[in-house]
């Protein structure tokens, strides 16, 4: 399953940090963060609960970039 989320981030380097953090989260098969469109596209692993996984993605992104936002 794939979903798209609106994000708020200050720079392209910060967006890259968010992408890496998202990809390293359990339940995420793949993630792409676009600074230009301010969107995060996430592909979830089979059987993963997107809502629970995105809470972890959000927490992991906050660890690497504390002023980012993901609008769940």
**How much is the pTM?**
0.94
pLDDT value, residue 27: 98
Average of pLDDT values for 52-71?
96
For residues 69 and 10, the answer to whether their CB atoms sit within 8 Å is no
CATH number of 2-71: 3.30.70.100
pLDDT value, residue 35: 96
Q: Please give the mean pLDDT across all residues of the chain.
A: 97
Distance (Å, whole) CA 60 – CA 72: 14
pLDDT value, residue 38: 97
pLDDT value, residue 52: 97
pLDDT value, residue 22: 98
């Amino acid at each position: 399953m794939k979903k798209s989320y609106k994000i708020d981030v200050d720079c392209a380097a910060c967006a890259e940090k968010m992408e890496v953090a998202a990809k390293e989260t359990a339940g995420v098969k793949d993630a792409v963060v676009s600074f230009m469109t301010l969107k995060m596209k996430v592909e979830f692993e089979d059987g993963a609960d997107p809502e629970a996984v995105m809470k972890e993605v959000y927490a992991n992104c906050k660890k690497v970039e504390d002023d980012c936002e993901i609008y769940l």
